[in-house]
Amino acid sequence: MFLINCPYCGERDQQEFKAGGEAHIERPKQPTELSDDEWAEYLFMRKNIKGVQFERWNHAHGCRKWFNMARDTSNDEIKAIYKIGEKPPTQ
Amino acid sequence: MTQNLRVKSSEFIDETNRISFKFDGKTYYGFKGDTLASALIANNVHLVGRSFKYHRPRGIMTSGSEEPNAIVQVNPNSNITEPNARATEIEIYQGLEASSQNCWPSVNFDIGAINNFLAPLFPAGFYYKTFMWPKSFWEKYEFFIRHSAGLGKSPNTRDPDIYDHRNIHCDVLVVGAGISGIIAAKNAAKNNFKTLLLDEKNEIGGSTIFEANEDNKINNNLASEWLKKEINELKNIKNLEIKTRTSVAAYHQYNYLLARENLTDHLEKKDKKNKIRQRLLKIRAKKVILATGALERPLIFNNNDRPGIMLSSAIKKYSNFYGVACGTKNIFFTNNDSAYESALSLHNKGIKVKAIIDIRENSDAKIIKKINDAGIKIYWSHTIVDTKGYKRISSISIMRLSNDGTSVTGSKISISCDCLGIAGGWTPAVHLYTQSGSKLTFDEERKIFIPKADTKEQISVGSCGGDFELDEIIRNLNYKLKNFLNIGKTDFDSIALENDHETSNRNIWLLPSDQSIGKTKPFVDYQNDATAKDIKLALREGFRSIEHVKRYTTTGMGTDQGKLGNMHALGIIADTAGVKMGELGTTTFRPPYTPLTFGTIVGRNVGEFFDTFRRTPMNDWHIKNKAEFENVGQWKRSWYYPKEDETMHQAVQRESKAARQSAGILDASTLGKIDIQGSDSSEFLNRVYTNAWSKLPIGKCRYGLMLNEDGMVYDDGVTTRLGENHYIMTTTTGGAANVLGKLEDYLQTEWPELDVYLTSVTDHFATASLCGPNSKKILNKIIPDLDLSDDNFPHMSFKEVLINKIKCRIMRISFTGELSYEINAPASYGEAIWQKCIEAGKEFDITPYGTETMHLLRAEKGFIIVGQDTDGTMTPIDLQMDWIVSKKKYDFIGKRSLYRSDTMKKNRKQLVGLLTEDPNIVLEEGAQIVSELNQKPVEMLGHVTSSYFSPNLNKSIALAVVKDGKNMKGKKLFIPMKNKNISVTVSKTIFYDEENKRINA
Ligand SMILES: [Zn+2]
């Protein structure tokens, strides 16, 4: 059970949160211009890597805000938490 | 056989408080402070159970939670009996009743014991090999296997006890209150850390508290005396909370631990009453100090499982702590010095120790001299090759070990005994450490797995960290603690420590016998009856991974998770396969460390508290009017209102007719309602719905369909424009929370530039839906001032009105195809408005109807229910709802997916109507649809999604999804059922009032 530091509320138990999958996948601005393959890339393809992964999380039972998390999927270490729109940390 | 083996009064046992209890129907006596195990041993009862597979007689082996054999049924004759309790953990109380498990008809005469003589027929993997073929027989085999195995019996009534959960936050959590844990907790608390110290036993102090070795001294006192003083001082320390009888079950990431606090199990029945039995502590600790100690290892030799064969450390605890002798003729068998301490403490209490068998060549420890002085014979370089005694060990046979330890030589010596203490060294209890996700490292020299590294949030101290000698334990602990808690001087910096040191060790995982291994029974996992030869067989058959060997042989898969024998299993695999143990790795220790009862896990969340129910403001009226309820999400919705002895079918038919012939009323309060405001609200709706919203005039309503980005239908509902920048959206009852979440997601992450605010107002309004040709007249009676003409208040429009000064929103919208009005009142006035409708409707015989009638009426009109007629694989085109998909809009959620090659495929499943050839047959929802009856294998074309007998059409109607259904109108298909094939014809999805005339009737 993680202890997640919501950027708006502070440290809360994981059960207040909802995971939202891989982060930094921007919805194409002009979907109609895309080929089937390009659209499928956006729609279906996710990296699911072992190691540091950037993820979306939502404080569903709190402030309801979405934010991003850099999490090491191999040991569940939360490396960083940052707001939507902010760039992922490089380290 | 009621010989009393109490040897010496003990300070931990209250001999003034005599307690009677029953075991296997027989009454025994013990004292306050005894466990069931110590009290039985005091009565010279060792045989307490039968083994799982061979039904071999088994006795008490340990004195703690690692016990594999002494597993008993508590309150065996009660409905609330509890299985699989460890006799070594049950504290006796007046009236306690317990019985053996795994035996029938009795522990002394057990029919299953025949398996012992049939042992060659039960090798590793026996069940897999034998019973998995032929496949269809498994169910029959399973019945017999389960019947004869039976690990205890389950209670058959509801657990009457109270269980509780509690959240705890602390700075420092110390797990285990032995000497290390006590020192750690004292230091932490004294340095202003809010500290919690937990121990599974009823007394703190671990094994040091009953230590009698005069060579182990702290500040010139016997270690046990020194520790007692320390414990005494704990009372005066602020910031320190101590919980005994509290076992940590699980250690999750981020220092989140679950512990079971046992509050009443040790109390007499009358004192248990109305008290919380167990409490699950949910602990979030800033720092965790693991001081879980070490478990003594058995030795693996031929017939090492007889009653009376016990761990050497357990024998010491029974004599020093409980004042009980485990035997009158004791022998110890060891590979290290610790057995000598046990032997000496028995000897000093006047309990006879006949011999010590040591597989080592010698030892320089000081204690050896004391043993020699005591006249106890030591057999160096010897091993036990066999034991005798069916229900209690009666003798051992020993032989000299070869230099390489793989065989025995010389002549056999037989020694009689009634108790054998075995000492195979120590295994650090790293279970919780590994549960936390931390990694182990293998110390090849000492043959132990130890924690790889401490972290800023967690350390392991004492023997669970690999320190076994007193001086080493305290010095390392003190050093670690200062770093971990960032503290300066401690009380333990200049402590004087004196202790004996282990000088030699020898480790042989599987000890040889003079007989071939095939003829021996060296048990590795006592609880699951797995022997060393099972493990070797698994390796011969090609298993290599420890995880595979474990499952194949069931080693370590009992309720004790193989706490005693896991290391030996690994060692035997490594030796047999010729690899290093460190390379093999270890199996995963999973929570819980010791079994938890379900009651503790669920706590107060039982019965009506299991899940939250949501009830509408009109709920009391529904109950008064005998509604049957249906669960929809968390809501309790009126399902139908049976009159007198009406069946559900009769009630629904009556309600359905009434709603079309005169007037009906439905409680629609559960529909999700989202208030949408902001200058970009129209643009927002354009993006989330498939149809266009910009031109919807104020005061008008529109039906909308919402897709997922993959083009599949997600939700639907009517949205009303209340003002220039103000809408109210309705969603399905079950989808409300998810729709709000999805919309917020898009607003926050994809379209933060939009000026839109969403508020869930589902609970703010109560909704009464009036329907039927007389609904206008009823509404007119309620609000005479309102012009209800089609010109002023047409279909799909909205009015805000006052009813008895209560501000209500009325939408003229219809889910039944009838003239219909939805009155939305503030929730607290919901019942009043409903009541008003009922009264006004009396002269029209207004009929309340529930969800079932609503479903039937909408099916007559071919309106879909998202989640019933759709399943996340249906596009609006599949639903033949092309009309609602805007061609003009540049984009909306899911639009691009509607043009993917896959979603445009011709033979996708499409929504159609079905009419049965025999109009009286009502299809089963979920039934499969085929076009050929004799085809093999037959192609499944789709399934029935909604099916009803329509009283208004007097025939059966159904909706279904069928491959290429769009092009099948008029085609005959079949529904193959168990005893018949039903013929159906594909029809339009709309069955009733195709021209939609009734909406304006
Ligand atoms: Zn928050």
CA quadruple B117, B119, B121, B123: dihedral, nearest 10: 180
Question: What pLDDT shows up at residue A4?
Answer: 97
Q: Is residue A90 in a domain?
A: no
Tell me the per-residue pLDDT of B197-231, one tens digit each, with 9 for 90 and over.
Answer: 999 999 999 999 998 888 889 999 999 999 999 99
Tell me the per-residue pLDDT of B537-562, one tens digit each, with 9 for 90 and over.
Answer: 999 999 888 888 888 888 888 888 88
Indicate the SS3 state at residue B963: strand
A65 in B contact zone (CB under 8 Å): yes
Which among A1, A20, A85 has CB closest to B253?
A1
Q: How far apart, in Å, are the Cα atoms of B267 and each of B33, B35, B72, B96, B277?
A: 11, 12, 18, 10, 10
**Owning domain of residue A30:** 3-83
CB atoms within 10 A of CB B872: 11
d(CA B739, CA B744): 9
Token duo for residue B905: 């495929």
Chain B residues with CB under 8 Å of A40 CB are 900
Interface test with A, best of B168, B253, B283 (most A CBs within 10 A): B253
Inter-residue contact B179 to B221 (CB < 8 Å): no
CB contact under 8 A, A18 and B741: yes
A76 in B contact zone (CB under 8 Å): yes
Q: pTM score, two decimals? A: 0.89
The CATH classification number of B869-880+897-1000 equals: 2.40.30.110
Minimal C-alpha gap between B180 and chain A (Å): 27
Token duo for residue A64: 């309801």
Q: Within 13 Å and on the Cβ side, how many CA atoms surround B367?
A: 23
Phi/psi of residue B248, nearest 5 degrees: -75, 120
How much is the average pLDDT of B961-965? 97
Give the start-end residues of each E strand in B221-329.
Answer: 221-222, 240-243, 246-252, 256-262, 276-290, 294-296, 309-311
CATH 3.10.20.440-classified regions of chain B: 1-156
CATH of residue A68's domain is 3.30.2270.10
Q: At what angle do helices B566-577 and B532-540 cross, to 10 degrees?
A: 40
- The fourth-level CATH superfamily of domain B162-294+428-498 is FAD/NAD(P)-binding domain (3.50.50.60)
Statement: residue B1 has pLDDT above 50: no
Question: What pLDDT shows up at residue B151?
Answer: 67
Chain A residues with CB under 8 Å of B748 CB are 65-66, 84
Q: At what angle do helices B532-540 and B546-553 cross, to 10 degrees?
A: 120
| Chain A CA closest to residue B438 | A75
The complex scores an ipTM of 0.98
Tell me the per-residue pLDDT of B797-851, one tens digit each, with 9 for 90 and over.
Answer: 999 999 999 999 999 999 999 999 999 999 999 999 999 999 999 999 999 999 9
Q: Which helix (H) or strand (E) holds B946?
A: strand B942-950
A27 in B contact zone (CB under 8 Å): yes
CB contact under 8 A, B256 and A75: no
Chain A residues with CB under 8 Å of B749 CB are 56, 66, 84
Q: Please state, for a pLDDT cut of 70, what percent of chain B lies above it.
A: 95
Domain B667-849 has CATH 3.40.228.10: no
What's the gap in Å between B960 CA and the centre of ligand 1?
Answer: 44
Statement: residue B28 has pLDDT above 80: yes
How much is the average pLDDT of B381-386? 98
Statement: residue B114 has pLDDT above 80: no
Chain B residues with CB under 8 Å of A2 CB are 253-254
Tell me the per-residue pLDDT of B654-686, one tens digit each, with 9 for 90 and over.
Answer: 999 999 999 999 999 999 999 999 999 999 999
CB contact under 8 A, B284 and A3: yes
Statement: residue B949 has pLDDT above 70: yes
Q: Domain count of chain A? A: 1
What's chain A's average pLDDT? 95
Question: Which residues make beta-bridge pairs with B294?
Answer: B428
Which among B252, B750, B899 has CB closest to A27?
B750
CB atoms within 10 A of CB B993: 16
Rg of chain B (C-alpha set):
38
Instruction: Give the confidence band of B118 by pLDDT, cuts at 50, 70, 90.
Output: low
Chain A residues with CB under 8 Å of B901 CB are 36
| Chain B CA closest to residue A59 | B741
Cβ-Cβ contacts under 8 Å for B716 (sequence gap 6 or more): B703, B704, B705, B706, B731, B732, B864, B866
CB contact under 8 A, B741 and A66: no
Token duo for residue B19: 């307690």
CB contact under 8 A, A1 and B901: no
| Chain B CA closest to residue A57 | B745
Instruction: Give the confidence band of B148 by pLDDT, cuts at 50, 70, 90.
Output: low
Statement: residue A30 has pLDDT above 90: yes
CATH 2.40.30.110-classified regions of chain B: 869-880+897-1000
Q: Is residue A91 in a domain?
A: no
CATH 3.30.1360.120-classified regions of chain B: 667-849
Instruction: Give the confidence band of B594 by pLDDT, cuts at 50, 70, 90.
Output: confident
Question: What pLDDT shows up at residue B143?
Answer: 54
Statement: residue B121 has pLDDT above 70: no
Question: What pLDDT shows up at residue B123?
Answer: 63
Chain B residues with CB under 8 Å of A13 CB are 256, 284
Question: What pLDDT shows up at residue A89?
Answer: 86
The CATH classification number of B1-156 equals: 3.10.20.440
CATH 3.50.50.60-classified regions of chain B: 162-294+428-498, 298-424
Inter-residue contact B664 to B772 (CB < 8 Å): yes
Among the listed ranges B105-109, B527-531, B960-964, which one has the minimum average pLDDT value?
A: B105-109
Question: What pLDDT shows up at residue B930?
Answer: 97
Q: How far apart, in Å, are the Cα atoms of B427 and each of B23, B65, B450, B605, B677?
A: 32, 14, 9, 38, 65
What's chain B's average pLDDT? 93
CB atoms within 10 A of CB A51: 10
Question: What pLDDT shows up at residue B552?
Answer: 87
Instruction: Give the confidence band of B125 by pLDDT, cuts at 50, 70, 90.
Output: low
d(CA B340, CA B336): 8
Tell me the per-residue pLDDT of B42-99, one tens digit each, with 9 for 90 and over.
Answer: 999 999 988 877 888 999 999 999 999 999 999 988 888 888 899 999 999 999 999 9
Minimal C-alpha gap between B704 and chain A (Å): 21
How much is the average pLDDT of B462-473? 95
CB contact under 8 A, B741 and A60: yes
Q: How many residues does chain A have?
A: 91
Tell me the per-residue pLDDT of B597-645, one tens digit each, with 9 for 90 and over.
Answer: 899 999 999 988 988 899 999 999 999 999 999 999 999 999 999 999 9
Question: What pLDDT shows up at residue B708?
Answer: 97
Minimal C-alpha gap between B484 and chain A (Å): 20
Tell me the per-residue pLDDT of B714-739, one tens digit each, with 9 for 90 and over.
Answer: 999 999 999 999 999 999 999 999 99
Closest CA to B65 of B45, B46, B83, B90: B90
CB contact under 8 A, B254 and A3: yes
Domain B298-424 has CATH 3.40.50.300: no
